[in-house]
Amino acid sequence: MGGAAEATPLEMREPPGVRSGHSMRPGSPDPAPARARSPGRTRPEFLAALARHHDIKREIVPLIAAWRDAGIETLLYKGFFLAEFVYPSPGSRFHGDVDVLIRAQHAHEALRIARAAGWHQRWHPRRTGAPDGGALFDLYRPDGAAQLDVHQLLVPAARWWKRRQRRITEAVWSRSEARAWEGTTVRLPAAADAIVVNLALERAVADAAVGFKPADATDLALLLERGALTTEDLHQRARELGCPRTLTEFLALSARATVAAPTRASRLASLRWRLAGAWESGYVHVPTLALRLARAPALVWDIARALPVLIRVRRALRSHRDVRAVLANLTPAAPVPRRSARARWRTVRAIHWAHRLLPLGGCLPQALAIYAALRAQGWKVEFVSGVRRDPAGLHGHAWVEEDGGLLRELLGWERLPDYQGNFRYPSPG
């Protein structure tokens, strides 16, 4: 999914943005362009992001403390780590879920403790044949603000070939620092690893559908300052970890990123970054490519089966101007027995591909088709739309959620927390 949503009768609201005012050490990339490109944040938006961050923090601290008491170390990284430990105020850095790293041998005990503490496990498509990003499980609290994405690897991996990803993850563990935090202890990645692994390498693969984010340049600048690093320090660490080309492409992309619409040159630069990351992370290799080729006939069959729902959505959009009427038309009148999780993943994948191959419009028809197909399979998903603001303007988007959480099958789901939802169907309550 991506791009602006088609016109719908939805209220437009501004999402949170990012602003920073840090200076940099000589020898580091100048962060001034990054600050200029960062979306402005009004005081109400800042306060809302700050309150949300503290709500999430209040929920996760007891769980992390319980894990620590059981001898399970937790490493915080990505958005929550940046907001809590790197930015001058947590309200300056909006984030979605909380990414945490634990060791694989602690997975079962960590999940047992979480369930005893009232956390629920969310179904994850990576457990059913989709690419395995090193994720162990997702946790959420009903009616809570926090969602934990618990990992064993920092870099996305194919299902069986994980030697390089394990080596990189262990290298980050070894350089991480223990920090006393809210009555317990957590581990934090070294600043160089937060840039080389989390910003440059991991996102080149995991966020391939999203590309370079507006906050990336600011994240880079503040991490450089936090670690008193120069670009040569980063290149040295990238060589040690085996991903020098990925870092080079990421820094080049950061230096040329602008608020203007993507150009052919920027798209090529982003492609070079993603290809370098896929190769140097070990995500792309001969066994994986062979497996994907073997699955191609099944994908073609799934796309053919997805076409009727897409055609139905297009007809519904022509017949009704109000998206609520379209959704009511697409929602089964009676409960439907739920199909398997693997069928759900294959359905969403097929709709994605059909939408890419055929001229079916923006993200709205795709979101409606996924909603209709999964509802017909018995999944109680919700259609959601919202907006985000960046220096280029206001952007609308439509997507699908379940239980108030994002569907991980969605391409570009990593970017969805940047959007402020303002319409949901069925409405809560």
User: 414-428: buried (b, 16+ CB within 10 Å) or exposed (e) per residue?
Assistant: bbbbbbbbebebeee
Residue 382 lies in a domain: yes
Look up the pTM and report it: 0.69
User: Do 314 and 214 have their domain in common?
Assistant: no
User: Do 291 and 175 have their domain in common?
Assistant: no
Phi and psi angles of residue 409, each rounded to the nearest 5 degrees, phi first: -70, -20
Handedness of CA 20, 57, 206, 15 (dihedral sign): negative
Residue 313 lies in a domain: yes
User: Do 119 and 223 have their domain in common?
Assistant: yes
Residue 6 lies in a domain: no
Residue 220 lies in a domain: yes
User: Do 111 and 229 have their domain in common?
Assistant: yes
Cα(251)–Cα(254) distance, integer angstroms: 5
Strands (E), 69-110: 75-77, 98-101
Pairing of strands 381-390, 98-101: unpaired
For residue 128, what is the domain's CATH number?
3.30.460.40
The CA-atom distances, in angstroms, between 97 and each of 33, 130, 416 are 27, 20, 11
Q: Which of 228, 253, 281 is the last residue of a domain?
A: 281
User: Do 274 and 297 have their domain in common?
Assistant: no
Residue 158 lies in a domain: yes
Question: Radius of gyration over alpha carbons of the chain, in Å?
Answer: 21
Number of domains composing the chain: 2
User: Do 73 and 201 have their domain in common?
Assistant: yes
Angle formed by the axes of helices 231-241 and 163-175, to 10°? Answer: 140
Residue 215 lies in a domain: yes
User: Do 220 and 293 have their domain in common?
Assistant: no
Pairing of strands 98-101, 147-151: parallel
3-state secondary structure of 74: coil
Q: Which of 281, 310, 325 is the last residue of a domain?
A: 281
Domain of residue 209, residue span: 32-281
Edge-to-edge strand list for the sheet holding 393-402? 405-406, 393-402, 381-390, 420-425
Residue 4 lies in a domain: no
User: Do 235 and 377 have their domain in common?
Assistant: no
The pLDDT assigned to 28 comes to 38
3-state secondary structure of 121: strand
User: Do 199 and 64 have their domain in common?
Assistant: yes
Q: What is the pLDDT along the chain (429 residues), one digit of tens a residue?
A: 433 333 333 332 233 333 333 333 333 334 333 333 344 456 777 888 899 999 999 999 999 999 999 999 999 999 999 999 999 999 888 888 899 999 999 999 999 999 999 999 875 544 433 344 578 888 988 878 888 999 999 988 766 678 889 999 999 999 999 999 999 999 999 999 999 999 999 888 876 555 667 788 899 999 999 999 999 999 999 999 999 999 999 998 888 765 455 567 777 888 888 888 888 887 765 555 565 666 678 878 888 888 888 888 888 888 887 888 899 888 988 888 888 888 888 898 888 888 877 766 778 888 999 999 999 999 989 999 988 765 556 778 888 888 767 776 766 555 566 677 788 998 875
Q: Which of 256, 281, 306 is the last residue of a domain?
A: 281
Contact 224, 250 (CB under 8 A): no
The pLDDT assigned to 346 comes to 87
Helices (H) and strands (E) in the chain, counts: 15, 11
User: Do 193 and 266 have their domain in common?
Assistant: yes
User: Do 127 and 170 have their domain in common?
Assistant: yes
Residue 94 lies in a domain: yes
Cα(394)–Cα(390) distance, integer angstroms: 7
User: Do 271 and 294 have their domain in common?
Assistant: no
The pLDDT assigned to 201 comes to 92
The pLDDT assigned to 22 comes to 33
